[in-house]
Amino acid sequence: MIYLDNAATSFPKPESVYVAMDRFARTSLANPGRSGHKMALESEHALSDARHRLNRFFNGRDADRWAFTLNCTDALNMAFKGVLNDGDHVITTDLEHNSVSRPLVALAQANRITLTRVPADAGGTIDPEAVRAAIGPKTRLIAMTHASNVLGTVQPIADVGRIAREHDLLFLVDAAQTAGAFPLDIQAANIDLLAFPGHKSLLGPTGSGALFVGPRATLRPWREGGTGGDSLTPTQPTDFPHHLEGGTPNVIGVVGLIAGLDFVEEKGVEAIHRHEQALCERLRAALVELPGFELFGHADPSRRVSALSFRCEVLAAPELAGLLDQSFNIAVRPGLHCAPYIHKALGTAPDGLVRVSPGAFNTEADIDHLVDALKQITGTV
């Protein structure tokens, strides 16, 4: 299989991720904080070390403000349902994944909040001044993606974060497509809430992720239960990270996540980004020369992460992706990519687009094989 669906889940993982998870599962996989024996302490240390590593990598303010989650969706739900109050107004964008859109729309439909969706321009970028213009007297939160999972366009989060801080608003960033793939500085961008998964560009396993909660944000707990440290308090402890981590955490997933982070830091975020972007540009250059293909998003690679979406006039996205899978053993992502609002804006619903997202381990030969397959399918050989 030539795997080109890394924007959904990166594959393969570095060998070191498999080794670290296997070793930990065989030697140290006890319940963190629940017992005083050596294995439990090793599990607790693994979590503590991971919080410090993430805090340093993203330039957070306090390692204890990192709560581990099941994935980015879990982190986003934790943030929205923990921070928003009845009557609040929220600003978001039409680029958002359903992990942002659905919780907010559900709250709006229940008349808990009001919601404004700022549209992207034709290239797929949000104008910070349009965000500023949407601010009203009841606005509490600005929530937006760092990069579109459909178009790959990187958003001006530092400018939006500055606007949020000027108006004393909370700023949430969905870093599903950029954590590990694009430089990201919490303090420089004035981010109050940062959500991301471990299984994409951080090269960790599925079932891992985190939410950073800055000191300006006060959250109600998303889940309540045992923490191992404070068993007497009748309700969820208020100290972080236990306030948001009821129940036994996915320690082995966190271990895999940090092993992936080790790989990313060793290779360098910028170096990995350059490699992936070069593959995207190779594909873009080839598709521009092929008749019947339409590409979406900015052409400037400095404004994008490594996701390139296109449509073919001969075949709808699901049929084209199916042929690539069944006849050529190439994995890509067709459809609406769980981001229906941007597809409606682009006029690409309901069939959507074909998204190709190279990863750290893809090669030029993978892209050339894909291009050759597309030529055969469309009869342009």
CATH code, 159: 3.40.640.10
Ramachandran angles phi, psi of 61, nearest 5°: -105, -25
71 plus 213 within the same structural domain: yes
Contact present, 254 and 209 (Cβ < 8 Å):
no
What is the residue-level pLDDT of the chain in tens, covering all 381 positions?
Answer: 999 999 999 999 999 999 999 999 999 998 887 778 999 999 999 999 999 999 999 999 999 999 999 999 999 999 999 999 999 999 999 999 999 999 999 999 999 999 999 999 999 999 999 999 999 999 999 999 999 999 999 999 999 999 999 999 999 999 999 999 999 999 999 999 999 999 999 999 999 999 999 999 999 998 888 886 778 888 888 889 989 998 889 999 999 999 999 999 999 999 999 999 999 999 999 999 999 999 999 888 888 999 999 999 999 999 999 999 999 999 999 999 999 999 999 999 999 999 999 999 999 999 999 999 999 999 886
358 plus 228 within the same structural domain: no
Per the structure, the complete domain to which residue 149 belongs is given by: 15-266
- Measure the CA dihedral 149/154/159/163, to 10°: -10
End residue of a domain, out of 239, 266, 293:
266
81 plus 181 within the same structural domain: yes
235 plus 357 within the same structural domain: no
pLDDT at 381: 66
Question: Strand 193-197 and strand 330-331: pairing?
Answer: unpaired
124 plus 256 within the same structural domain: yes
Name which of 161, 168, 82 is nearest 126 in CA terms.
161
361 plus 249 within the same structural domain: no
Q: Taking the complete model, does pTM exceed 0.85, yes or no?
A: yes
237 plus 125 within the same structural domain: yes
Number of domains in the chain: 2
185 plus 280 within the same structural domain: no
Question: Strand 88-93 and strand 353-356: pairing?
Answer: unpaired
281 plus 236 within the same structural domain: no
129 plus 211 within the same structural domain: yes
Contact present, 352 and 317 (Cβ < 8 Å):
yes
Distance CA 173, CA 141 (A): 11
pLDDT at 176: 98
Distance CA 350, CA 180 (A): 31
End residue of a domain, out of 266, 289, 307:
266
Beta strands (DSSP E) in the chain are: 2-3, 66-69, 88-93, 113-118, 139-145, 170-174, 193-197, 209-213, 293-296, 308-312, 330-331, 333-335, 353-356
- Measure the CA dihedral 56/62/64/66, to 10°: -60
- CATH number, residue 359: 3.90.1150.10
Helix, strand, or coil (residue 44): helix
End residue of a domain, out of 266, 290, 325:
266
192 plus 281 within the same structural domain: no
208 plus 280 within the same structural domain: no
